């Protein structure tokens, strides 16, 4: 039964794929190759304090307008999302957080993801506000998110829970 349902799903999905918008795969970096090393070297100057998270929350739901696309709960399903291709990133997906350094996220929020609705916010937001947003967006992944898992859990400035230390790209 399960197998049949899976087979059906695959058939449906393969038909639907060309017309349905999808989230771009999280394995592909969004930062252009020539900027990647520079972006990955960027580190949050803040510790993961409630104040910093709160500041990020204010910007996310306020002047950053992030919620319109990424959703009030960070699930990538905001009011404007349905019309977009690729779809906005779902910050609740904990796998996503393992495939990005905080520096890459910073770069994308500042400069945008070329060819997508994710425009750069360098004109609107200060660097401090962008870091605050990243600290806030991490909270959407809940206990599976970065910084919540034991040793990798420390959110010291300088690493998304020690990913760099593990040789993570």
Exposed e or buried b per residue across 81-109, where buried means at least 16 C-beta atoms within 10 angstroms of its C-beta: beebeebbbbbbbbebbbbbbbbbbbbbb
Q: In angstroms, rounded to a whole number, what is the distance separating the alpha carbons of residues 87 and 116? A: 9
The size of the interface with ligand HEC (CB under 6 A), counted in residues, is 24
Q: What is the DSSP string of 17-31?
A: TTTS--BPPTTS-SS
| Interface with ligand HEC, residue 69, by CB under 6 A | yes
Contact window for ligand HEC (CB under 6 A) among 45-53, 85-93, 139-147, 151-159: 85-93
Q: x/- string (CB under 6 A) for ligand HEC, residues 104-133?
A: xx--xx---x--xxx--x-----------x
Exactly one of 40, 64, 92, 162 binds ligand HEC (CB under 6 A); that residue is 64
Question: Of these, 77, 80, 158, 164, which contacts ligand HEC (CB under 6 A)?
Answer: 80
Tokens describing residue 100: 């990005």
Query: Considering the rule CB under 6 A, would residue 68 count as an interface residue with ligand HEC?
Result: yes
Does residue 102 bind ligand HEC (CB under 6 A)? Answer: no
- Residue from 27, 103, 106, 23 nearest 71 by CA: 23
Q: Which of 91, 54, 48 is nearest to 72 (CA)?
A: 91
The residue ranges that bind ligand HEC (CB under 6 A) are: 24, 30, 64-66, 68-70, 80, 84, 86, 88-89, 100, 104-105, 108-109, 113, 116-118, 121, 133
């Amino acid at each position: 039964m399960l197998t049949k349902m899976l087979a059906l799903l695959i058939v449906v999905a393969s038909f639907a794929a060309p017309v349905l918008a999808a989230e771009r795969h999280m394995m592909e970096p969004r930062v252009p190759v020539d900027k990647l090393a520079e972006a990955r070297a960027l580190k949050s100057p803040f510790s993961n304090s409630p104040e910093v998270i709160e500041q990020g929350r204010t910007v996310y739901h306020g002047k950053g307008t992030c919620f319109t696309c990424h959703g009030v709960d960070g699930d990538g399903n905001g009011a404007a999302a349905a019309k977009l291709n690729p779809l906005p990133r779902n910050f609740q997906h904990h796998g996503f957080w393992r495939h990005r350094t905080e520096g890459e996220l910073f770069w994308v929020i500042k400069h945008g993801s070329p060819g997508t609705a994710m425009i750069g916010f360098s004109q609107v937001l200060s660097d401090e506000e962008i870091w605050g947003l990243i600290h806030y967006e991490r909270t959407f992944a809940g206990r599976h998110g970065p910084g919540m898992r034991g040793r990798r859990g420390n959110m010291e400035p300088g690493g998304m829970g020690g990913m760099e230390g593990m040789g993570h790209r």
